[in-house]
Amino acid sequence: MTILEPLATEPGPTGPVGTWEDVALCRDVDTALFFSDDVDEIGDAKRICLACPVRTDCLDAAVDRGEQYGIWGGHLFVAGRIVLHKRRRGRPPRTPRPGDTFPEVEVPAPYRRLVTTG
């Protein structure tokens, strides 16, 4: 299946479904959310991805295109690598803030080579 290949001909929320992008939950969300450096916004973007029915299609497409930055398929890409943990700038607080962690999404085996360590 290619990125632009139709997924189905069943009617979607706005008519016939054409591509995975047509059913992605982020289709009506400001794309700036998925390219933010703010930990809270990264968490918000990842939560949208976690509920998305085409999350794996999005991740596949991002890897195929060589995306360098942003949230794709529920994963944070920085310099073309998947970053599992990101913290706020500056010294970490003694007691973690509620928004200091964001949802973790399991990395599919074929893409574990993209995970940054340390």
- The span from the CA of 85 to the CA of 93, in Å, is 16
- Please name which of 73, 72, 69, 70 lies closest in space to residue 55, comparing C-alpha atoms: 73
- Count the Cβ atoms, other than its own, within 10 Å of residue 113: 9
- The span from the CA of 112 to the CA of 105, in Å, is 12
Average pLDDT over residues 81-102: 69
Query: 3-class DSSP state for residue 60?
Result: helix
pLDDT greater than 90 at residue 68: yes
pTM above 0.75, yes or no: no
